Structures are given as C-alpha cells and as structure tokens.
C-alpha cells in the first residue's frame, strides 16, 4: 500500500553539465504531472512521463530538472550557448506591442533577453547528447525509486491508522447490534407519550396499538444497515492487504459506510442509537480524509 506523498532528488554530471533532479508527489484523483525542464531538454518530457507511468498510477507530480555549466578548463569546451532567434523575435515583438499600448521601453535590453532563459540556451556538445539523455533517464528512475520508497513508508503508516480506525468502527457497530432490539420499545414509549399529550378520552384498542407499533418498528428496523456496515468494514480490512493501487476502492467503501450510518441515524427511535451513529459518522469522516492520500 502506498501513500501519494513522496519526495526524491538526485544529481547527474555529464560532460560540462550538472543536472539536478527533484520530484515531489502529493495526492490527486488521477495521474497529474508538471515538468520543468531546461529548454534544451524539453523534448524529453514525454519519454520521462512514460517512465513515471511504470512506477505510479495516481498522484500529482512536480518534476524539476535544472542544468548548469561546470566552469572548469576540462569541461568548458564541451558546452556552449546557442541563440534561439525565434524566441528573441517573439520577445522583442511583444515588447514593442507593450511600448505602443503602455509606453514602456521599446526594445528589451540584451540583459533582459538573457534573463528570460529562452534566448540564450545552454547546450551540450552533440557528441555528448546521447550520454546525457541516457544518464538523465537512469537518474530519473533512481529518484522515482526514492519517491516510491517514501510513498511505501508513508503508506505503511496510513495502513496502521486505517486498520485501527476500522476496528473502532466495528466496535461501534457492535454497540448498534446491542441497542437495535430496543427500537420497538422506544417507539411504543413515543406513541404512549403522544397519545397522553393529545388527551384522547377513548382508550385506544390494544390490538390496534400493537399493530401500529409493529408497522413503525418494521420501518425503523436497522438490522440490514448493521449487516451492511459490518460487511463494508470487513471488506475495507481485506482491501488494506491487497497489492497495487487501492485508494479508489477504499474511497467507495467510505461513501457506502457513510450512507448506511446516515440511514441508521434517520431510522433511530433511541437517543443512544443516534449518539452511536453520530460517533460512527465522525469515525468514517476521519477514514475518508486518510483514504484521500492512498494511491
């Protein structure tokens, strides 16, 4: 079982470049990725995404890859800056439009073009590019493994919390089982109380009274809800031990648990049953919050 919270980082030195990788993962309903790559390596986004998909199925990932030159006599000859003329033209044309509309500086300075990070692009010697690509992919897999290790560690903690939460939930369901037979008695007390309030002169036919109580008790019977709560809770415990992504299954079960508890509370004729139902709703909500971070 994995959490969707994870982090990993690493570095790679090839030729005259030092690449630093950082990957953060948080919860998300699906697989969501945001890559920040150096312009010269932007073409690697899709291949890196395909690698990531072999490790994870859910989560929101932020992938940062930074590249800087190693300024040494041994490596300086292997790196150079190239000029992206299209990017420069686009920036200059944009600056001219702003100048005409807002009266800003007409032409961007060379320093501004450099700071944009789009015009002057650091590139590797073409002979080193294949090694750089393969090295980045290898390092990317290593960092992904670190992220997965952290997600598994967090998942183990989550599993303990969820397991304990469900066991407490089952204890509450056992309380409901003990209280459920009191429903007809509580319904009779309410009917007697209302009849007394209405001050009806003619005594009610005892057989009719029993019939009314029986109908009300049938409508207020929570046996099925208790059975389904028990079944869903036990299924929850079973799924916790399954391999692979289980978050969606657990989320569905928390919704079903919540539905059964709401029905139980609505049928309740006993204040103690209502109180137990409210406690169960609180416990299920805690489970739901934790489940949101399970892959």
List the pLDDT tens digit at each of the 295 positions of the chain: 999 999 999 999 877 778 899 999 999 999 999 999 987 788 899 999 999 999 999 999 999 999 887 655 444 444 566 777 788 788 888 888 877 777 776 667 777 766 676 676 655 555 667 888 899 999 999 999 999 999 999 999 999 999 999 999 999 999 999 998 887 776 666 665 665 666 655 565 666 666 665 666 567 678 889 999 999 999 999 999 999 899 999 999 999 999 999 999 988 878 899 999 999 999 999 999 999 999 9
Task: Identify whether residues 281 and 177 lie together within a single domain.
Answer: yes
Domain co-membership, 93 together with 195: no
Q: Is residue 9 part of a domain?
A: no
Assigned domain for 132 exists:
no
Element (H, E) at 35: strand 31-36
Are 167 and 286 in the same domain?
yes
Separation CA 52–CA 44 (nearest Å): 12
* Together in a domain, 97 and 202: no
Separation of alpha carbons 2 and 5, rounded Å: 9
205 and 95 together in one domain:
no
| Same-domain status, 271 and 156 | yes
Q: Which residue has 């416990």 as its token pair?
A: 283
Question: What range defines the domain where residue 108 resides?
Answer: 85-118
Task: Tell me which long-range contacts 184-192 makes (C-beta under 8 A, separation of at least 24).
Answer: 184/213, 184/214, 184/217, 186/269, 186/270, 187/213, 187/216, 187/217, 187/220, 187/269, 188/213, 190/269, 191/216
pLDDT computed for residue 75 by the predictor: 45
104 & 226 share domain: no
**92 and 188, same domain (yes or no):** no
Task: Give the whole-angstrom CA distance, residue 194 versus residue 204.
Answer: 12
pLDDT for 73 equals 43
Contact yes or no for 23/55 (Cβ under 8 A): no
What is the arrangement of strands in the sheet containing 59-69, beginning at the earlier edge strand? 6-14, 17-26, 59-69, 31-36
Residue 221 in contact with residue 184, Cβ under 8 Å? Answer: no
CA distances from 94 to 46, 87, 98, 102, 285 (A): 29, 11, 6, 12, 51
Is 94 a domain residue?
yes
Residues 171 and 275 in one domain: yes
pLDDT of residue 234: 97
Query: Considering the domain boundaries, does residue 43 fall inside one?
Result: no
- Select from 118, 135, 167 the last residue of a domain: 118
16 assigned to some structural domain: no
Domain count, the chain: 2
pTM, to two decimals? 0.73
């Amino acid at each position: 079982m994995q959490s969707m919270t994870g982090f990993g980082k690493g570095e790679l030195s090839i030729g005259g470049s030092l690449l630093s990788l950082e990957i953060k993962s948080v919860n998300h309903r699906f697989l969501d990725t945001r890559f920040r790559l150096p312009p010269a390596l932007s073409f690697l986004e899709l291949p890196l995404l395909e690698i990531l998909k072999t490790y994870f199925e859910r989560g929101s990932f932020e992938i940062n890859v930074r590249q800087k030159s190693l300024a040494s006599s041994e490596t300086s000859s292997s790196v150079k800056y190239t000029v992206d003329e299209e990017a420069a033209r686009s920036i200059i044309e944009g600056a001219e439009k702003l100048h005409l509309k807002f009266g800003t500086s007409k032409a961007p300075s060379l320093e501004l073009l450099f700071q944009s990070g789009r015009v002057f692009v650091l590139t590797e010697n073409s002979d080193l590019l294949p090694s750089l690509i393969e090295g980045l992919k290898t390092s990317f897999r290593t960092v992904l493994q670190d992220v997965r290790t952290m997600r598994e560690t967090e998942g183990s903690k989550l599993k303990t919390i969820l397991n304990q939460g469900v066991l407490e939930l089952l204890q509450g369901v056992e309380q409901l089982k003990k209280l459920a037979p009191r429903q007809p008695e509580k319904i009779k007390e309410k009917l007697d109380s209302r009849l007394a309030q209405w001050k009806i002169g003619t005594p009610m036919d005892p057989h009719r009274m029993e019939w009314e109580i029986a109908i009300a008790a049938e409508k207020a019977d929570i046996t099925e809800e208790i059975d389904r709560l028990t079944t869903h809770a036990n299924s929850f415990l079973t799924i916790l031990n399954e391999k692979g992504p289980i978050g969606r299954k657990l989320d569905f079960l928390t919704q079903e648990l919540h539905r059964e508890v709401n029905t139980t509370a609505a049928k309740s004729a006993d204040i103690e049953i209502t109180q137990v139902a409210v406690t169960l709703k609180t416990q299920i909500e805690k489970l739901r919050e934790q489940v949101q971070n399970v892959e």
